[in-house]
Amino acid sequence: QLQLVESGGGSVQPGGSVRLSCAASGATLDYFAIGWFRQVPGKEREGVSCIRSMERKTYYADSVKGRFTISRDNANKLVFLQMNNLRPEDTGVYFCAAENSDYACGRRILESEFEHWGHGTQVTVAL
């Protein structure tokens, strides 16, 4: 059973950077599409970015394009989300998710398309 653990969250000032990691265990990541989502209290989970398995095509929400970069290291079962030029509205709990199909990763990054989830890591952007 695939398990995912996020790390790298914390507090940062506006304009700063944070790199999140998602470590997988229990299965190889090679055939999984990976997504990053974020959630704030009272709101639905929002798809931020995703990366396909083999072709590694990436997608981003409009709100993070040009600021966030998703990447993966299949050999070490890791996926990263580099977040630059952070804004207060980027605050939230960030989750990584995996699905054994690249169809889950497209222009619309939907929570319902991903089966496996981590427990999340908090990112707070504030002065």
pLDDT digits (tens, 9 = 90+) for 87-122: 999 999 999 999 999 999 999 999 999 999 999 999
pLDDT per residue over 16-61, tens digit each?
999 999 999 999 889 999 999 999 989 999 999 999 997 789 999 9
Determine phi and psi for 53, rounding to 5 degrees: -75, -70
What per-residue string of b and e applies to 33-63 under the rule 16 or more CB within 10 Å gives b? bbbbbbeeeeeebbbbbbbbbeeeeebbbee
| pLDDT for 56 | 85
